[in-house]
C-alpha cells in the first residue's frame, strides 16, 4: 500500500461541501469516484477539513491509500483528467509515510474570507466573494477581530448543528486587511467549529457598518449563546487556503 498526499483546489458552488452527502454531490465523492475509475479500488479520500456547501478551497490537503503501483505525477494527471469538467483540480501529489494523516496529523488550518465592498454588481467575483454595498470601516473590523483572539468558548459563533465535543477553541489569528474595495479576513487555528469563521465574519461586517461596536464582539463571545450572534456570513467568500503539518511533511512539498 502506498499513501499519497494530495493538494486539492476547488470551486465549492456546485457541491454540498467536502464530505459525502446523501442529498447532493460533494468534493470527496468526485475525487473518490475518479480514484475508482483509475485504479478500480474503492479507496477513501481523507481531507484536513470539512468545508460547507458553497465554500471553496485553494489548497485542501488530503490523502488516499492505494495498492496499485503508480507514480505521484501520473496519479495527479489521471485524477485531473477524470475530474474534468468539474471545478476540482489536484495541484500537487506526493508519497507520504503510512502514518501521515491529512486530518489527524494537521497542526493548524487557515481560512480566508473575501468581502467586496462596492455598490456595482460583481462580475468575475460573483459567487467567490460576499458583496456589501454599504461602506465598511476595516480598521473598526480589525479592532473587533482582536476581541476574539486566544482560547475561548465560541458557542456564540458555533452552528446549532456543530458536532464537536467542545465549543472551546484557540484562535491564533483573525486579521482584517483592505486593498481597494476588497477586504480580506484571515483566520488561523488548530481547528474550527462548524460555521465559526462565517459567524465571526458576519459579526465583523456589523462592526464595519457601524451597527456594532468593537466591544460588542467581546460581549457576543462572552454570552456563549448562539442567540447573541448578529449575522452569519454567506459561504461565497470563504476559502480554505492551507494547513500546517509537523516536520514540514506537507502535501505541497
pLDDT for 248 equals 55
Distance CA 92, CA 147 (A): 37
The pLDDT of residue 252: 52
CB atoms within 10 A of CB 23: 6
Pair (96, 116) in one structural domain: no
State which of 42, 71, 105 marks the end of a domain.
105
- The DSSP H or E segment spanning 79 is helix 72-83
Q: Residue 21: what pLDDT?
A: 86
Task: Examine the domain organization and report whether 26 and 83 are in the same domain.
Answer: yes
Residue 13 structural domain: 2-105
Among 105, 132, 156, which residue terminates a domain? 105
Cell of 207: 462592526
Cell numbers for 6: 494530495
User: What pTM value is reported for the model?
Assistant: 0.94
Q: What is the mean pLDDT of each run of 10 residues along the chain (253 residues)?
A: 97 96 93 97 94 96 96 98 98 97 97 98 96 98 98 96 92 98 98 97 98 97 96 97 81 52
Strands 130-131, 108-116: parallel, antiparallel or unpaired by DSSP? Answer: parallel
Does 252 map to a domain?
A: no
pLDDT value at residue 55 = 97
For residue 80, give the C-alpha cell.
485531473
- Same domain for 232 and 121: yes
What pLDDT does 127 receive? 95
41 and 138, same domain (yes or no): no
Q: Please tell me the predicted confidence (pLDDT) of residue 63.
A: 98
User: Any idea which residues carry the catalytic annotation?
Assistant: 52
DSSP code of residue 32: H
Please tell me the distance from the alpha carbon of residue 179 to that of residue 22, in angstroms, as a whole number: 40
Inside any domain, residue 177: yes
* pLDDT for the residue numbered 250: 54
Beta strands 238-244 and 56-66, pairing class = parallel
Statement to judge: residues 180 and 74 lie in one domain: no
**Count of structural domains within the chain:** 2
pLDDT at 23 (0 to 100): 86
Amino acid at each position: 500500500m502506498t499513501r499519497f498526499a494530495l493538494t486539492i483546489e476547488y470551486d465549492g458552488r456546485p457541491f454540498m461541501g467536502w464530505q459525502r452527502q446523501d442529498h447532493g454531490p460533494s468534493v470527496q465523492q468526485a475525487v473518490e469516484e475518479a480514484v475508482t475509475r483509475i485504479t478500480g479500488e474503492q479507496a477513501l479520500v481523507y481531507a484536513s477539513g470539512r468545508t460547507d456547501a458553497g465554500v471553496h478551497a485553494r489548497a485542501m490537503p488530503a490523502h488516499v491509500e492505494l495498492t496499485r503501483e503508480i507514480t505521484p505525477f501520473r496519479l495527479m494527471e489521471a485524477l485531473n483528467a477524470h475530474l474534468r469538467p468539474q471545478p476540482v483540480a489536484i495541484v500537487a501529489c506526493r508519497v507520504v509515510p503510512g502514518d501521515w494523516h491529512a486530518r489527524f496529523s494537521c497542526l493548524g488550518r487557515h481560512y480566508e474570507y473575501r468581502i467586496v465592498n462596492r455598490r456595482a454588481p460583481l462580475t468575475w467575483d460573483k459567487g467567490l466573494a460576499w458583496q456589501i454595498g454599504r461602506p465598511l470601516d476595516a480598521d473598526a473590523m480589525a479592532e473587533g477581530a482582536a476581541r476574539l483572539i486566544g482560547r475561548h468558548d465560541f458557542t456564540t459563533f458555533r452552528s446549532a448543528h456543530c458536532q464537536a465535543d467542545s465549543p472551546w477553541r484557540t484562535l491564533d489569528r483573525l486579521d482584517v486587511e483592505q486593498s481597494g474595495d476588497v477586504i480580506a479576513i484571515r483566520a488561523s487555528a488548530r481547528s474550527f467549529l462548524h460555521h465559526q469563521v462565517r459567524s465571526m465574519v458576519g459579526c465583523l461586517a456589523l462592526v464595519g457598518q457601524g451597527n456594532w461596536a468593537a466591544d460588542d464582539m467581546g460581549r457576543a463571545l462572552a454570552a456563549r449563546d448562539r442567540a447573541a450572534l448578529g449575522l452569519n456570513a454567506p459561504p461565497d467568500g470563504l476559502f480554505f487556503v492551507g494547513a500546517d503539518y509537523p516536520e514540514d511533511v506537507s502535501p505541497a512539498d
